[in-house]
Amino acid sequence: MEYNWDWGVLFREPYFGWIIDGIGWTVTVSIAAWIIAFTIGSVVGVARTVPVRWVRSAATVYVELFRNIPLLVQLFLWYFVLPEVLPREWGLWMKREMPLPEVTTAIIGLGFYTASRVAEQVRSGIEAIPRGQSMAGYATGLTTVQLYRHILVPVAYRLIVPPLTSEFLTIFKNSSLALTIGVLETTARSRQITEFTFQGFEAFTAATVIYIVITLTVTAFMTVVDERAKIPGFITGGR
Partner 1 sequence: MIELRNVDKWFDDFHVLKNCSTNIAQGEVVVVCGPSGSGKSTLIKCVNGLEPFQKGEITVDGVSVGGKSTKLPKLRSRIGMVFQNFELYPHMTVTDNICLAQEKVLGRGRQESEEKAMTLLTRVGLSDQAAKHPGQLSGGQQQRVAIARALALDPIAMLFDEPTSALDPEMINEVLEVMVELAEEGMTMMVVTHEMGFARKVANRVVFMDYGEIVEDAETEEFFGSPRSDRAQQFLSKILHHI
Q: Which residues bind partner 1 (CB under 8 A)?
A: 130, 132-133, 135-143, 146, 150-151, 154-155, 158, 231-235, 239
- Distance linking the first and last C-alpha atoms of the chain: 63
99 versus 238: smaller Cβ distance to partner 1: 238
157 versus 204: smaller Cβ distance to partner 1: 157
Nearest distance from C-beta of residue 138 to partner 1, angstroms: 6
**Cα 101 from chain centroid (whole Å):** 19
Q: How does DSSP classify residue 142?
A: -
139 versus 220: smaller Cβ distance to partner 1: 139
Nearest distance from C-beta of residue 117 to partner 1, angstroms: 24
Nearest distance from C-beta of residue 36 to partner 1, angstroms: 27
Q: How many CB atoms lie within 10 A of CB 192?
A: 18
d(CA 59, CA 42): 11
Identify whether the C-beta of residue 94 lies closer than 8 Å to the C-beta of residue 170.
Answer: no
Nearest distance from C-beta of residue 137 to partner 1, angstroms: 8
Q: Give SS3 for 183.
A: coil
Residue type, 138: Y
CA-based nearest residue to 67, from 46, 45, 51: 45
99 versus 232: smaller Cβ distance to partner 1: 232
